[in-house]
Amino acid sequence: MQLGLLYNRFGDPTAPRFAEDINIPCFYMKNAMGYKRVREFRREYDITHLIRWGITAGGSQDQYFERVYNSSEAISSTSQKILARRILRDAGIPVPKTSQRLESFDESEYPVMLRRSGTSGGDNIMLVAKPPHKMETSFVANILKTDSRAYLSEYWEKDQEYRVHVALGQPLFMAEKVPRTAPKEAFRQIVWNIGEFWQYGDNQDVLPLFSDQCVNAIKALELDFGAVDVIRKGDEVQILEVNTAAGMQKKSRRKYYEAFRDIEGAVISWDNNEENVIEE
């Protein structure tokens, strides 16, 4: 078999460096590019097994590979936050209450989070402290009317937040979000966004408290691998979302190599050049 990797996150080095780590061909595509580019990539390198790293382009070509890890269809469903949460909830996985209708939340359920489309990493997420006085004509209502992918979400005063990596049915590792700056400043942030105030700590073994739920979240979304964002309050947990193109350092990418290495027929090796380590 011959593994190949497709990715579309221009500027993010994880996907091409992972392909370099394990010595397989990779190809950068924009989602607007069509099936012909995928077909050319498959034929040029005789790709039989394809890894899709957060990219849906050329999904009609998936049928011509013996195996696709993260199909175009599964990535598309996962990227639609409302649909993904519905799938997870129907599978019995705890997720925050989510709706595109203001009236879905009682006054006692406020504050709630408002997330608009086209955002990532916590950008443009707002805290709605109480129900708008004029519900139908409020600023929040207008956003929900004009932005088809905007939604309201239950606000949880979490104690901890983690990113849990899962591949091929197994939890690989997790990293806890830890303050980058003074804890008081960091904890004032509504969204624990990686950047000025927060960063991921060292890799750890996945806690049994939510290990099965993270594996089941990947299965429910019909993915083969992904990074599950988990929030915790005491012994309660909720799944926020699943990422299909998470950024990683080399020590983390090696865990993915160890998972894919065990695929029957896989011919991959690990590049031990430690100069390839990156800062996320």
User: Which residues face 166 on adjacent strands?
Assistant: 171, 226
pLDDT of residue 276: 39
CB-based contacts of 178, cutoff 8 Å, min separation 6: 198, 199, 200, 201
Residue range 185-207, pLDDT digits in tens: 666 666 767 777 788 899 999 99
Amino acid at 116: R
Best mean pLDDT range from 26-40, 115-129, 205-219:
205-219
d(Cα 147, Cα 150) in Å, to the nearest integer?
Answer: 5
Residue range 94-141, pLDDT digits in tens: 999 999 999 899 999 999 999 887 656 566 788 898 888 776 668 898
**H-helix or E-strand containing 140?**
helix 139-146
Kindly tell me if the per-residue pLDDT of 278 is higher than 50: no
Within 10 angstroms of residue 187's Cβ, the number of other Cβ atoms is 11
Residue range 9-25, pLDDT digits in tens: 666 789 999 999 999 99
Q: 15 and 9 in contact (C-beta within 8 Å)?
A: yes
Using alpha carbons, select from 248, 251, 246 the residue that is nearest to residue 274.
251
Phi, psi of 168 (to 5 degrees): 55, 45
What is the chain's mean pLDDT, rounded? 87
pLDDT of residue 28: 86
Residue 177 zone, left/alpha/beta (φ > 0; ψ -120 to 50; rest)? beta
Amino acid at 134: K
- Helix, strand, coil proportions of the chain in percent (round to 5)? 35, 25, 40
Kindly tell me if the per-residue pLDDT of 3 is higher than 60: yes
**H-helix or E-strand containing 111?**
none
CB-based contacts of 147, cutoff 8 Å, min separation 6: 116, 117
Beta strand 98-99 pairing with 151-154: antiparallel
d(Cα 75, Cα 144) in Å, to the nearest integer?
Answer: 24
Question: What number is the average pLDDT over the span 241-247?
Answer: 93
d(Cα 263, Cα 38) in Å, to the nearest integer?
Answer: 23
**Residue 152 three-state SS:** strand
DSSP state of 177: E
Using alpha carbons, select from 259, 255, 264, 229 the residue that is nearest to residue 244.
229
